[in-house]
Structure 1
Amino acid sequence: MGQFVADSMILSRIRERLDDPAEIARRMRQLSERMHEDGLHMEGRPYRIEARPLIVTAAETAAIDANVRELYRAVEHALTLYAKDDEVRTLFAEYAPAQDAILDVPPYTPLIPHCRFDSVWNGGGDFRILEVNAACPSGVVQIPMATRAWLSTQWAADLLDGLPQEPYPMLADPDAFTRALLAAAGQAGYDVTAAAVVNLRGVYTNELEWLARSFHRIGLEAQICDARSMRERSTALWCAGGDYQLVYNKLDPLALLTDPAAGQYVDMLRRHRAYSVNPLVAQTIAEDKAILAVLSDPRYAGLFDAEHRAAIGRHVPWTRLMRPGVTTDPDGSRHDLLDFVARNRQRLVLKPANLTRGESVLVGPYVTDEAWAAGIRAAATDRYVVQDYVRLPSLRVPAPDAGGWRDVFVDLTLQVVSGRLAGYFSRCSSGPVVNMGVGGSLVAVVQLAAAEPAA
């Protein structure tokens, strides 16, 4: 049973069980207020959560997990190419001043302990990633908490009555994420008794408290620290009011690398005195959208093996760094890149290479010629990528304020820990840029058990 079958089933149940849009609105407002009172928020803003879930079956999860593992290996390999290949490094010229620090890669694998694949999913086991999010992305604690809050309501019980559920790891265990990090640190040779959640100048504070609490619950001392306060007391331990053998970096990596007051912390990261989630090479190169150009451009295909190339072909859309020159288009024909982009707004997306939360993204079919031309001008003075437009599927949700129903764009984000699928979350929006930071809503993701019910 794929997404669209489940979509019809859930819509039918909503209509059967509650056909009053005002009542739906009231229940969802109450849930959002309750979550906010419990400390669940997006940088101080209440979570908005939709009335209906997105359904994934156990069989789909198994197929998605297998594909995640293959793609993850290709992304990990792309990071090693940054160290080995001069031409690959030209795609990441912005990081040249910090190249030595980035190339001090940890002496263990994986190089990306945690990342997200923000994806387009239409049911089944296949997906197309829009970006890799590796700068310690949000949602590891709060999204499962919000999903559990939704599932605890009578409204969810009514909708899912008779549908056996099998929660994915980060939903089943509130501390699955921090347990996985602790296990990965142990496998890398670190004896961890304490963890620091490291921030910089109060930017990206989402989830800091919840992460520290989760580390506490699994038996570690934990503290929220500013990177500027970190000090090195010995050859093996970190100090900021205590000794830490695991650091979770919840910060802007570009700000970290250019902030003189954080220089000592960067030096400690380079010496790998603690297990770092994520290390600098992941937070910069894997986080940068140009990594998708490394993966998808045929000029680099010979640097990947056959299994890598197969995974890339299935899951990575055509992507190029915006710079002058001739390249192949999404159909394989050769063009001057900038001329091709100027003439093909309807099939392309322009994105800043290293901004987050949907900032300055231009989805060609939904912007004017003038806005597209302005985006191309911006790309001439900043680092942008251009990507083949992969349309997000639509999800029909109640429209309580206006009454009736509305169709929204919906994504599926894959939480990846140590190369395995660990959890999901989904966001929806009336516009083609789907992000909680720009007005999107959360959609609870529910995994059905292996025995699928009749629709």
Structure 2
Amino acid sequence: MDRISLTRAYLAELGRPGADARTAGPAGPAGPVGPVGSAFLDGMYEGRYLSRPLFLGHAEQVQLHADLENLRTALAALPDLLFGGDFEAFARAVGLTDVQVSAVMRGRGATVSRQTRADLYADDTGFKLLELNIGSAVGGMDNPDMCRELLARPHLADFAERHKLGFVDSLREQVENIVVESGYGPGDDPVVALTDWPDAYGRMLPYMEALCERWGEYGLEAYPCHVGQLEARDGRVWLGERPVDIVFRVFLIGDLLKSPESLRLVDPILDAADRGEVRIFTPLDSAVYASKGALALLSDERNRRLFGADVLAGLDRILTWTRMVRPGPVTLEDGESVDLVEYALAHQHDLVLKPTSLAGGTGVLPGWTPGLTAQEWSTRIHAALDRPYILQRRVRPSVELFADDNGELRPWTPLWGVFTVVNGYGGAYVRATPADGGGLVVNLATGAHAGPVLHGLAPS
């Protein structure tokens, strides 16, 4: 069964006498979000949970993972294929500033991290990628706790058993990623500093403390801090009097632009990493591959010659039409050549303007935003020319049904977050907002609710 047939089967069972669509089972309080959550999860999701999981069939989960791994491999090849190995040129081409380029050139990893989260909409044709987050700062890998709490409901547990559904422990995979990609092996006990930027640290500290505690359950010793609390001395990096082996980077490449002192704040850690005194998970260069500008290079018709038929088939399945905002001609999906600015102005409601490297929906402008006039759209398009912005084709996502306070099923717009890890498929979770709310940007900052994904297990 695929995600559509699994969902239909599950919703049909909720319609049976005695079933409660609000909670997917007989226990727990009424309400659209149901009795899901924990002190650990609530630190991130503020008690906003979906009342049921989404589903993926086994075959489509395998295909989706293969397509995402294909995409990551294609991104990793771009510096060599397009820039002759000149990584600095690649970083500039995808929209990084001089300050950011300087930092990433000092913080490069040996390979592109396998820890990614693809943000996708599902439409009538399948999954369509909006962005690929690469590296340590991806959120949502705490989703197995949501899976376990939902599966404690007898109704869902019975459904999952009958349809052979399960989930990946993404937190365990995250710990594995940290250890393996930092160069440690069995029997090693690295100490990790979970490191945010100073201005976010106070707000995130409760969740960071809880996350370190959860990592400890998997055998990883970790402590929360901000980058200003780390000190490089005596051939080590220290958090107070505790030597640190791995700096787990929560802060983003955009944080380096917050003030003239930002780069100086992180300089000692980058220098220590250059000297081999500490490992950074993940190095700053992951932000270059994760730039939406890199997706624009993959999407560009002129670069298709670089890849074989199998690679292109995978890209065509999930990659949304994406172009850097530059004057001049671009190619559409059907091969037609058009002037970018003229096309953008004529097709406002079919396009979204996005910065290449900002996170959390910051700076995103859907052309169909209510009240956005043609003149305002034109002003924003012209202001974005030759700056770090992309235009991306609008994806019209399929809705999913969730219960309201009265148990009535209502449409919500889900944004899928699908993980890849060193061991392969890393699980998935979803954020969703009510479809009647417009769904312009679906993320936690706009009040989205969170829930897990169950996938079909391999046939035994």
Taking structure 2 as the reference length, the TM-score comes to: 0.83
Say if 2:252 is the partner of 1:244: no
Structure 1 residues 272 and 378 mapped into 2: Cα distance closer, same or farther (>3 Å)? farther
Corresponding residue number in structure 1 for 2:295: 292
Question: What is the Cα deviation at residue 277 of structure 1?
Answer: 1.8
SS in 1 for 2:391: strand
Report if aligned partners of 2:57, 2:455 keep a CA contact under 8 Å in 1. yes
Structure 1 residues 15 and 107 mapped into 2: Cα distance closer, same or farther (>3 Å)? closer
- Among 180, 183, 198, which residue is 1:183 paired with? 180
Say if 2:265 is the partner of 1:268: no
What's the CA shift string for 1:337-359, capped at 9, x where partnerless? 11111111232122222222223
Structure 1 residues 33 and 89 mapped into 2: Cα distance closer, same or farther (>3 Å)? same
Corresponding residue number in structure 1 for 2:447: 439
Question: What is the Cα deviation at residue 250 of structure 1?
Answer: 0.7
Report if aligned partners of 2:292, 2:357 keep a CA contact under 8 Å in 1. yes
Structure 1 residues 406 and 122 mapped into 2: Cα distance closer, same or farther (>3 Å)? same
Say if 2:321 is the partner of 1:324: no
Structure 1 residues 239 and 304 mapped into 2: Cα distance closer, same or farther (>3 Å)? farther
Counterpart code for 1:249: R
What's the CA shift string for 1:227-285, capped at 9, x where partnerless? 112222355x4222322222210113221465133332233344453332211111x31
Report if aligned partners of 1:57, 1:450 keep a CA contact under 8 Å in 2. no
Corresponding residue number in structure 1 for 2:390: 385
- Structure-2 separation of matches of 1:79 and 1:48: 41
Structure 1 residues 70 and 113 mapped into 2: Cα distance closer, same or farther (>3 Å)? closer
Corresponding residue number in structure 2 for 1:372: 377
- Structure-1 separation of matches of 2:396 and 2:59: 24
Structure 1 residues 300 and 270 mapped into 2: Cα distance closer, same or farther (>3 Å)? farther
- Structure-2 separation of matches of 1:386 and 1:188: 43
Say if 2:209 is the partner of 1:209: yes
Report if aligned partners of 1:91, 1:321 keep a CA contact under 8 Å in 2. no
- Structure-1 separation of matches of 2:284 and 2:177: 20
Corresponding residue number in structure 1 for 2:86: 84
5+ residue gaps, structure 2, are none
Question: What is the Cα deviation at residue 411 of structure 1?
Answer: 2.7
Report if aligned partners of 1:141, 1:211 keep a CA contact under 8 Å in 2. no
Corresponding residue number in structure 1 for 2:403: 398
Corresponding residue number in structure 1 for 2:432: 428
Say if 2:347 is the partner of 1:344: yes
Corresponding residue number in structure 2 for 1:193: 190
Report if aligned partners of 2:115, 2:177 keep a CA contact under 8 Å in 1. no
Question: What is the Cα deviation at residue 20 of structure 1?
Answer: 5.9
- Structure-1 separation of matches of 2:161 and 2:422: 34
Structure 1 residues 271 and 210 mapped into 2: Cα distance closer, same or farther (>3 Å)? farther
- Structure-2 separation of matches of 1:60 and 1:20: 29
Counterpart code for 1:390: V
5+ residue gaps, structure 1, are none
Report if aligned partners of 1:73, 1:308 keep a CA contact under 8 Å in 2. no
Structure 1 residues 308 and 21 mapped into 2: Cα distance closer, same or farther (>3 Å)? closer
Structure 1 residues 448 and 187 mapped into 2: Cα distance closer, same or farther (>3 Å)? same
Structure 1 residues 416 and 160 mapped into 2: Cα distance closer, same or farther (>3 Å)? closer
Counterpart code for 1:290: G
- Structure-1 separation of matches of 2:35 and 2:294: 39
Taking structure 1 as the reference length, the TM-score comes to: 0.84
- Structure-2 separation of matches of 1:306 and 1:189: 39
Question: What is the Cα deviation at residue 197 of structure 1?
Answer: 0.7
Corresponding residue number in structure 1 for 2:105: 103
Question: What is the Cα deviation at residue 289 of structure 1?
Answer: 1.4
- Structure-2 separation of matches of 1:310 and 1:349: 24
- Structure-1 separation of matches of 2:223 and 2:231: 14
Report if aligned partners of 2:353, 2:366 keep a CA contact under 8 Å in 1. yes
- Structure-1 separation of matches of 2:199 and 2:243: 22
Report if aligned partners of 1:228, 1:265 keep a CA contact under 8 Å in 2. no
Question: What is the Cα deviation at residue 158 of structure 1?
Answer: 5.8
Segment of structure 1 superposing worse, 98-107 or 286-295: 98-107
SS in 1 for 2:162: coil
- Structure-1 separation of matches of 2:49 and 2:453: 11
Corresponding residue number in structure 2 for 1:312: 315
Corresponding residue number in structure 2 for 1:334: 337
Q: What is the RMSD computed on CA atoms of the aligned residues?
A: 3.4
Question: What is the Cα deviation at residue 307 of structure 1?
Answer: 4.8
